[in-house]
């Protein structure tokens, strides 16, 4: 049961008031992975009045067990024990990508609702297999595109849905990392389209409210390490959507001023701009100029609210039997677009997505 | 023991990395008051890896006990049971103002470190009594001026300390509530200087790094309810600080665009401006103008990070035996300034603070 | 005759169109003073299709005559020859302050409309004498408060008049020069209230739409040269207006980032902020921050449009027989306020303007 | 002779001082075309101390002669009389495009320096013929890409040249008109690439400091009138430059919030953003949002400084025998790019510029 109780008892200063949401029976959640992202989700769950963090799982016991304890959660080394724990109603998968598919399937077979970090897999056939099991077992799968929960991008989407800019006609997505990953990582990353731009393909679908139909790519490796990995570090992708809108994504693996994640959507009645977020809104004016602080340079700082709010949706999805706003198909579409982009870059021509679908 | 462990095990994407702070032995905290502010602090403590929320206390049992349970904390009706609980190392006082003094004294006598929401009291002699007990018992008292922990105001202060603007010469603090409190509250509020502007007196001390020496006040009641309560709803206060800097505070009980909390500090080498914060950084451009979203309209939204980070300092203060950055004297100084302002308004003349001290 | 003709003949690209205003008989103007300000007005008049710059006057012939010639104007050394030139319908007085009164009187007696740079005089009795002659002779006097014609301050005023913020309740004017004038100038300046803040008193009247009733001043000399001149270089002035609104002016003789001229007006329905203007709207984002360019650091750059548009009003005032928007009384009121501020500073008390009026 | 004289005589307030540039012998200029653009240039010349507007020419005598008179200039109906006037050292061509080539040739043959509005022609062979005559006769030709003189775009370029962002890697140009031209105009416009985007091709060359090598185009007609004219009204153009940088241009014939002309240049050390300009920097904060004014909606307002400063360069180019910063070749390159874009759109493939060159 979920009810709303007005703040009472030892109250504070009058003025604006807030209803405090309380769940009489918090929903039980298990988190697979005690690393960075697992801890982020665990903190959100620990502070939630609607959920109870029951158990965490991780094979690296020495490191992981104290983490679980610090949140007051039980600990298991084997994720299967977590999946089959009867107290667990929802499974949060925060393990490395190669484990995602088997853990989705195990969770679905145990009848548990699932949150999985992106990507489900970089292999379209593996993704399709996961989606089928999820569908067959009648569980829900929320895919971890946390950027959709970023306050700025979510607000852009809401205003589009509200009709604030009329019909979406064009868009421009800027997506730059502060610095390239290590050379070793680059070689195994699957390439910039899968590793980095897949997030932006999702964002293009999110704001255009349509599917990607055709792509054309221009890219370059300015950094010798990217060249050595036979990858681009700087890319412009042009996207034609099925609804007739079109736009561009501008990516770079390095950006002198931090993590640069912005979007501009141009419609028949106006333009929406989702800007960067940063740690403060302080301006220093001196003889050098009028200077405001840098945006966040780390993606987990930029998407603090995104990670929190996607977990809140996960709990709400279970409690209130809702459909996920970002499902399994949303995890598949960006992988397909990445395949088409690779081909476009290789052949210097526009490519339809249907050319590369399985 | 507190140690730093690099994120490992199920790691995420390479790139920027964060050390995860882990406390082998989380510090035990009790929270007095299960209302709005008590819940805010309880959430922070529940998500902390360094603290354990042991127990909550509140006389309104029916409402409060489920709140405590939802955070996995024990519950007691009588705060004295909390104060004397041997697992409790730090006491968070989130009860109504009239209870603060006795709860500070009880906590100090039990040898517990204390966080108390502002004000300690509106009576200088009561404050002085509390401060004496705290000193005699050798405990630490952190006073709840959460604005000092607001990312913007904190950044302004850091840059001042870093010398970014040279010597502070003048400042202007803007502090407006979105809407006046109910008429009934106004009559019992103690007046706008104690109820509202005391926060701004603290901010003036914070950025000028000095004590208020003399004040002069101009005010007016534009709202009939304020007039009926024989109070102002709009005030400009001029402050002369002991170090020769001076400035103004502009207050209003109502502001059409929300909760307006800004500060500008002018120094010999530059100016620092701490702006408002809001839920998003999205801009809509259409035929009406270039419009960005409103700032937060509720003080608990504006000071989300402030409430979180002051609690983080409280835990850190206990764990690492540090002195509080905002102590008992900081709770006294704004009350004294409020007394001087009342006199200035009554007699339409500048008033030195020493004229009204006890 | 003034008419409007649509651009024709060799037209440009279609789209937005502008009516081109043409005066069949341009009005003849004489400019007294060929220095900096005289040249500014001469340029505006030379580019105007409604006015003809007939003659310029200046006693420093060697310097001034080529200036006049470069604008295609006649030259006279003695301003009386200009005032009495039958081709001259309007006289622009851009000479030093000590000459203003006699040149106003001579122009009025010659039946010419007058534009005079501020101040008319720093002596209330001299001003009153000028105003009487102007009135007696039935000519018009436009006073050179060019800030009222600044696009930002003018827009602020327009929106206030349009009701955008409801009733004006409070205001805060920021007015800082980039650097103090030479010590020698300071000693003869008449003090910061007359020399600098008189502009801001006018701005307070402009936005509050009321007269100053009472003032209170806090000031300080941070710069030894200001102290030596027995003047302040940093001042906060509190103003109570006759209509019940009130506000503050914050002045400094030096400002690290340039010429800082802003205003914020707070009303019952919203707030208007008039920001600085600068030479460009370019932003550089790098590892140091997000930096936009400095505002103009020179008052004639900041008020380029102000100087242009006040001259446009002067021509229009003559052509269309309109009353000036800033008349002689507007030149008197700030001088009176400056007198009251001097007394407030001397006696550390609030002072009513009527206490110092003649 | 050009000299610098410090402002003297009737001086103003001390502080920042400006040298007043004076030319003992103003250069004589003739303006062909008394329409909108001709008047703009005439005003600049009339206010210049270095130039003298000698004569204007336009075949529509009834309209044009009073225009010339209002600036104190002589008038001729036939541009050949202007070109051959011995007082004229420089010719400003502000006539419709079809006349540009013959007027350039006539001016060159008369040995006069030339300013010509863009485009010289839409036919590459005609342009080449003009450039040859200009070269043969040894005169200078300044081409009217006034956007290069926009304070924002010029500042962007200066900072690039100064090394503020290291090597230019990518750029994104936004260029939107407030509203489409009439249907009749559209049909004769030569298409959006020649009519509108040619300006942006120039901007791409300006900021990348390189030549366009290859283009790829995506476009669409959202407006039925554009479709009827067999033209796009919305286009994204991808450009690969010869120096390895690349970028995109986003164009629309209509934009709900006005004339939208921005540029973002991304380099190895930072990013430069040239924003829009507008009539004021006033912000209204009320319950609807924090709203700043619209940018200029008319290109002649946006480029006020651009039109003024390109004319200033023209005068300076003649007086000081300088090479034009935007010459005849700069007028040719965008026309070539437009040809390549038409082919890219027709064949949905990337096109090298050399494929379409004559």
Q: Name residues 47-86 of chain C within 8 A of B (Cβ).
A: none
Residues of B in contact with A47 (CB under 8 A): 43-44, 46-47
pLDDT single digits (tens) B299-339: 999 999 999 999 999 999 999 999 999 999 999 999 999 99
User: Residue B347's pLDDT band (boundaries 50, 70, 90)?
Assistant: very high
In the prediction, which pLDDT does D34 show?
97
List chain A residues with CB under 8 Å of B5.
63
CB contact under 8 A, A290 and C288: no
The string of DSSP letters for C50-81 reads: SEEEEEEE-S-HHHHHHHHHHTT-EEESSHHH
Closest CA to D71 of D49, D83, D59, D56: D56
Q: Is C43 an 8 Å CB contact of chain B?
A: no
Distance from CA of B252 to the nearest CA of D (A): 15
Nearest to A290 among C286, C288, C291 (CB): C291
Whether B269 contacts chain A with CB within 8 A: yes
Q: Are D172 and A172 within 8 A, CB to CB?
A: yes
Cβ–Cβ gap B58/A10 under 8 Å: yes
Is residue A24 over pLDDT 80? no
Q: For position D7, what pLDDT does the model report?
A: 31
Query: Closest partner residue to C169 among B167, B234, B248, by Cβ?
Result: B234
CA D199 to chain centre: 7
Mean pLDDT, chain C, whole residue set: 92
Q: Residue A271 above 90 pLDDT? A: yes
Contact residues for B148 (Cβ-Cβ < 8 A; gap 6+): B154, B157, B202, B203, B206, B306, B310, B325, B326
CA distances from B132 to B125, B358, C213, D165 (A): 11, 15, 48, 58
Q: What is the pLDDT of residue D24?
A: 61
Which of the other chains make 3 or more beta carbon contacts under 8 angstroms with chain D? A, B, C
Residue of C nearest to B223 (CA): C268
CA distance to A202, A263, A300, C278, D31, per residue, from A193 (Å): 12, 18, 20, 41, 55
CB contact under 8 A, C289 and A294: yes
Per-residue pLDDT of chain D (358 residues; tens, 9 = 90+): 222 223 323 323 333 333 344 546 789 999 999 999 999 999 999 999 999 999 999 999 999 999 999 888 999 999 999 999 999 999 999 999 999 999 999 999 999 999 999 999 999 999 999 999 999 999 999 999 999 999 999 999 999 999 999 999 999 999 999 999 999 999 999 999 999 999 999 999 999 999 999 999 999 999 999 999 999 999 999 999 999 999 999 999 999 999 999 999 999 999 999 999 999 999 999 999 999 999 999 999 999 999 999 999 999 999 999 999 999 999 999 999 999 999 999 999 999 999 999 9
Q: How far is A223 from chain D (nearest CA, A)?
A: 10
The minimal CB distance from D291 to the residues B256, B290, B295 is found for B290
- Is pLDDT of B10 > 70? no
- State the best of C170, C219, C249, C259 to mutate against chain B, taking most chain B CBs within 10 Å: C170
Of D256, D257, D285, the CB nearest to B257: D285
Nearest CA in chain A to D220: A244
Q: What is the pLDDT of residue C248?
A: 98
Under an 8 A CB cutoff, do B277 and A272 touch?
no
Contacting residues of D for C274, CB less than 8 Å apart: 280-282
Name A73's Cβ contacts closer than 8 Å, sequence gap at least 6.
A31, A42, A53, A54, A55, A56
Does the CB of B262 have a partner CB in chain C at under 8 Å? no
CA angle B316/B320/B323 to nearest 5° reads: 80
Nearest CA in chain C to D308: C47
User: What are the pLDDT digits (tens) for B87-145?
Assistant: 999 999 999 999 999 999 999 999 999 999 999 999 999 999 999 999 999 999 999 99
> Could you tell me if B349 lies within 8 Å of chain C, comparing CB atoms?
yes
Q: Which among B47, B272, B297 is the nearest to A47, CB-wise?
A: B47
Q: What angle do CA C201, C202, C203 make, to 5 degrees?
A: 90
Low-confidence ranges of chain C (pLDDT < 70): 1-24
pLDDT band at B24 (very low <50, low <70, confident <90, very high): low
Which chain A residue has the Cα nearest residue B261? A281
Residue B72 φ then ψ, to 5°: 75, 20
| N-terminal to C-terminal alpha carbon distance within chain C | 44
Give percent of chain C above pLDDT 70.
Answer: 93
The Cα–Cα gap between C109 and C133 comes to 8
What percent of the residues of chain D are helix, what percent strand, and what percent coil, each to the nearest 5?
Answer: 40, 25, 35
Q: Give the residue from chain D lying closest to A348, CA to CA.
A: D350
Residue numbers in A near B51 (CB within 8 A):
none
Q: Distance (Å, rounded) from C-alpha D164 to C-alpha D155?
A: 11
Q: Is any Cβ of chain B less than 8 angstroms from the Cβ of D289?
A: yes
Cβ atoms of D212 and D206 closer than 8 Å: no
Alpha-carbon distance of B259 to B178, in angstroms, equals 5
Look at residue C25 in the predicted model and tell me its pLDDT. 78
Written as six digits, the tokens of B269 are: 């080498």
From chain A, pick out residues whose CB is under 8 angstroms from the CB of B15.
177-179, 181, 298-299
Interchain pair D282, C271: CB under 8 A? no
- Please, what are the domains in chain A? 2-139 (3.40.50.720), 148-301+328-355 (3.30.360.10)
Asked if A67 and B22 come within 8 Å (Cβ–Cβ), the reply is yes
Binding-face residues of C in 300-339 toward D, CB within 8 A: 300
The separation between CA C141 and the C-alpha centre of its own chain, rounded to angstroms, equals: 13
Chain D residues whose CB is inside 8 A of the A255 CB are 266, 271
Note whether D290 contacts B293, CB cutoff 8 Å: yes
CB within 8 Å of chain C, chain A residues 94-123: none
Residue of B nearest to D292 (CA): B290
C224 touches chain B (CB under 8 A): no
- Chain C residues with CB-CB distance to A292 below 8 A: 289-291
ipTM for this prediction: 0.91
CB atoms < 10 A from the CB of B122, how many? Answer: 18
Please name the residues between 6 and 35 in chain C that touch chain D, using a CB distance below 8 Å. Answer: 7-16, 18, 20, 22-24, 26, 32-35
B3 part of contact set with chain D, CB < 8 Å: no
The residue in chain B having the minimum alpha-carbon distance to the alpha carbon of residue D286 is B257
Please tell me if residue C247 touches chain B, with a CB cutoff of 8 Å: yes
What is the per-residue DSSP string for B43-70? Answer: HHHHH-SSEEEEEEE-S-HHHHHHHHHH
Average pLDDT over residues B38-47: 95
Residues contacting residue A86 through CB under 8 Å, at least 6 positions apart:
none
Chain D residues whose beta carbon lies within 8 Å of the beta carbon of residue C276: 281
Q: Smallest CA–CA separation between D222 and chain B, in Å? A: 18
Residues A284-306, mean pLDDT to the nearest whole number: 95
Tokens coding A243:
């609804």
DSSP-derived pairing of the beta strands B27-32 and B90-93: parallel
Contact C256 A286 (CB under 8 A): yes
| CB proximity C124 to B under 8 Å | no
Q: Which residues contact D318 (CB under 8 A, 6 or more apart)?
A: D27, D89, D90, D113, D140
- Is C222 within 8 Å of B165 when comparing Cβ atoms? no
CA-closest candidate to residue B238, choices B201, B264, B270, B194: B201
Per CB-CB distance under 8 Å, the chain A contacts of D268 are 222, 256
Q: Tell whether C285 is within 8 A of chain A (Cβ).
A: yes
Q: Do B236 and C246 count as a contact with CB atoms less than 8 A apart? A: yes
User: Rounded mean pLDDT of chain A?
Assistant: 92
Å between B263 CA and nearest CA of chain C: 13
Residues 153-182 of chain C whose Cβ lies under 8 A from any Cβ of chain D: 154-156, 159, 164-165, 177-179, 181-182
Torsion of CA C310, C311, C316, C317, to 10 degrees: 70
| Angle at B305 (CA atoms; ends B304, B306), nearest 5 degrees | 90
Number of Cβ within 10 Å of residue D69's Cβ equals 16
């Amino acid at each position: 049961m979920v009810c709303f109780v007005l703040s009472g008892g030892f109250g504070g200063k009058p003025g604006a008031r807030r209803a405090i949401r309380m769940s009489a029976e918090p929903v039980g959640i298990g988190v697979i992975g005690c690393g960075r992202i697992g801890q982020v989700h665990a903190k959100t769950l620990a502070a939630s009045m609607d959920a109870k963090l029951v158990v965490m799982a991780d094979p690296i016991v020495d490191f992981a067990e104290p983490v679980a304890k610090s949140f007051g959660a039980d600990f298991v080394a084997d994720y299967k024990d977590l999946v089959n724990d009867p107290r667990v109603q929802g499974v949060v998968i925060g393990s490395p990508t190669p484990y995602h598919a088997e853990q989705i399937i195990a969770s679905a077979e145990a009848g548990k609702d699932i949150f999985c970090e992106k990507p489900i897999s970089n292999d379209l056939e593996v993704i399709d297999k996961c989606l089928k099991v999820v569908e067959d077992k009648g569980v829900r799968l929320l895919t971890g595109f946390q950027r959709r929960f970023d306050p700025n991008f979510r607000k852009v989407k809401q205003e589009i849905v509200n009709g604030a800019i009329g019909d979406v006609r064009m868009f421009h997505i800027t997506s730059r990392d502060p610095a390239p990953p290590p050379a070793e990582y680059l070689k195994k990353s699957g390439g910039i389209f899968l590793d980095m731009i897949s997030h932006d393909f999702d964002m293009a679908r999110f704001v255009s409210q349509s599917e990607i139909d055709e792509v054309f790519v221009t890219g370059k490796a300015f950094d010798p390490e990217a060249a050595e990995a036979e990858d681009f570090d700087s890319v412009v992708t042009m996207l034609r959507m099925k609804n007739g809108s079109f736009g561009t994504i501008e990516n770079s693996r390095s950006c002198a001023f931090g993590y640069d994640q912005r979007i501009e959507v141009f419609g028949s009645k106006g333009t929406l701009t989702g800007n960067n977020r940063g740690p403060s809104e302080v301006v220093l004016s001196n003889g050098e100029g009028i200077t405001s602080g840098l945006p966040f340079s780390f993606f987990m700082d930029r998407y603090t609210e995104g990670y929190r709010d996607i977990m809140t949706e996960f709990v709400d999805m279970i409690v209130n039997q809702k459909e996920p706003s970002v499902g399994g198909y949303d995890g598949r579409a960006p992988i397909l677009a990445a395949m088409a982009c690779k081909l476009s870059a290789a052949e210097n021509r526009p490519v339809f997505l249907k050319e590369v679908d399985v």
